[in-house]
Amino acid sequence: MLKRIGLSKSGYYRHKFKGLSKSKERQLKIKDLIMEIWEESQHLYGAPKITAKLRKMGIQISERTVGKYMKELKIRAKYCKPFTVTTRDSNLNNKLKNTLDEQFNPEAPDTIWCIDTTYIPTKEGFVYLTSIMDLFSRRIISWDLSTTLETTNIISLINKVKATRKSNPKIIHSDRGSQFTSKEYCEITAGITRSYSKKAYPWDNACIESFHAIIKRECLNEYNISSYNKARRLVFSYIDGFYNTVRIHSHCGYISPLEFEQTYFDKVQKVNKAA
């Protein structure tokens, strides 16, 4: 707005805070910044993420104070409903092992991948989003949207991510859905340790389950989705245009998954050059 009418921020603040004490002026400035950050996040960030953004701007403030100001401004982050089990269990209960065992923090990229499928309702019927997450950065390294739950969709997705990452993980973790226990899935993941969640226990795959709850809360549930094509545009915009590249993540030290990965590779490159 200031750019449109040709005013500077400093001039705006001088006018707005004329006659106020310095503490009151600082408080109002911070409230303005909180509102700005909240708006830029599409109303998604709560006090922890807004606090982190403010501190990166050089503002020393507690999360409790940010929460208090948000309450006064009558703003809050969108609520995320707890995820629920949506996939069918296979008949191989006793043969499937949970190798991952809720160890969600590998020390390098392409060590552990998690894969999961969730449904998205549209006016034309359900479509199915399958995502693969690298647990190191929580980045969605590949995804597919399909109109069926056929195993062939999973196979083509894994082929694609192998080509783009140019590496296989040590472990790939999933639930016990029939697609992830099929002969074709076992063949395409040969040489990778397959890990499976316990029956009806989504917390074993909590990171990717949580991502699917987040994309629904922060994006998909905001729309009455008309078709597959509309759903695909929304998923692409959210994952590639926001979640991976812009949205800050507490696991990543309040930077985006892409930036977190790049920081790791930059450090490795520096070490290699020094050696």
| pLDDT band per the 50, 70, 90 thresholds, residue 46 | confident
Please report, rounded to a whole number, the percentage of residues in the chain having pLDDT higher than 70. 87
Prediction pTM value: 0.72
Which tens digits make up the pLDDT trace of 136-167?
999 999 999 999 999 999 999 999 999 999 88
Minimum mean pLDDT among 16-20, 232-236, 240-244: which range?
16-20
Q: How far is CA 7 from CA 11, 29, 115, in A?
A: 7, 17, 50
DSSP H or E segment with residue 113: strand 112-122
Which CATH number among 3.40.50.10860, 3.30.420.10, 3.50.50.60, 3.40.50.2300 corresponds to the domain 93-267?
Answer: 3.30.420.10
pLDDT at 83: 46
Q: Which residues pair with 107 in a beta bridge?
A: none
Question: Helix, strand or coil for residue 269?
Answer: helix
| pLDDT band per the 50, 70, 90 thresholds, residue 85 | very low
Length of the chain as a residue count = 275
Q: What are phi and psi of 44, to 5 degrees?
A: -95, -30
Which tens digits make up the pLDDT trace of 193-225?
999 998 877 778 889 999 999 999 999 998 999
Q: What is the DSSP string of 28-95?
A: HHHHHHHHHHHHHTTT---HHHHHHHHHHTT----HHHHHHHHHHHT--PPP-PPP---SPP-S-GGG
Minimum mean pLDDT among 37-46, 64-73, 148-157: which range?
37-46
| 89: pLDDT strictly greater than 50 | no
Radius of gyration of the chain (CA): 22
pLDDT at 13: 65
Q: 185 and 151 in contact (C-beta within 8 Å)?
A: yes
pLDDT at 42: 73
Domain ranges of the chain: 2-73, 93-267
pLDDT at 93: 54
